Structures are given as structure tokens and as C-alpha cells.
């Protein structure tokens, strides 16, 4: 069973861009276990920095690190 993690990037102007990553569940872990593992990396239970988890970002082409958060 493969799993898809979808996430949203919102820039300083409130423009939104979606990203999705497919993960193989080769160990056949229950979704509840995987969800718990993912939540361990979340900031305030909601946010994460894609680069810190070696996942693709959803930045716009004109990403300005001075204005837009990572």
C-alpha cells in the first residue's frame, strides 16, 4: 500500500501552492502508526519545513526568503 502526503505552501501574499509526495509502505504499517510518526515532526502539530525532512518544497518560482517563510 502506498501513501500520499499532500501539503500546502502559502506565501507572504497568501498565494497557495500544493505539493504531494508518494511514500511506499513496504512494512505494511497501519495508517495510524504512520500518522503518529509524521506528527512527531510537526511544528505545533500542523506545520513542517519540507527541506528539513528532505521533501520537495512547494515554493513559487519568485520565492523571496526575506518575505516568505520556509
| Predicted structure pTM score | 0.72
Q: pLDDT tens-digit profile of 29-66? A: 999 998 898 899 899 988 888 888 888 888 878 877 77
pLDDT value at residue 19: 93
Distances (CA, A) of 60 to 2, 38, 70: 27, 25, 11
Query: pLDDT tens across 3-26, in order?
Result: 898 999 988 888 899 999 998 989
What local confidence, expressed as pLDDT, does residue 6 receive?
Answer: 92
What distance in Å separates the CA atoms of residue 44 and residue 47, rounded to the nearest whole number? 7
- Residues 6+ positions from 12 with CB-CB distance below 8 Å: 64, 67, 68, 69
Domain boundaries, given as residue ranges, for the chain: 2-53
Residue 20's pLDDT is what?
93
Amino acid at each position: 500500500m502506498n501513501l500520499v502526503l499532500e501539503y500546502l505552501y502559502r506565501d507572504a501574499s497568501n498565494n497557495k501552492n500544493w505539493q504531494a509526495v508518494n511514500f511506499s509502505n513496504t512494512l505494511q504499517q497501519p495508517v495510524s502508526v504512520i500518522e503518529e510518526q509524521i506528527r512527531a515532526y510537526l511544528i505545533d502539530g500542523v506545520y513542517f519545513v519540507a527541506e528539513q525532512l528532505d521533501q520537495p518544497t512547494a515554493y513559487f518560482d519568485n520565492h523571496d526568503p526575506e518575505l516568505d517563510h520556509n
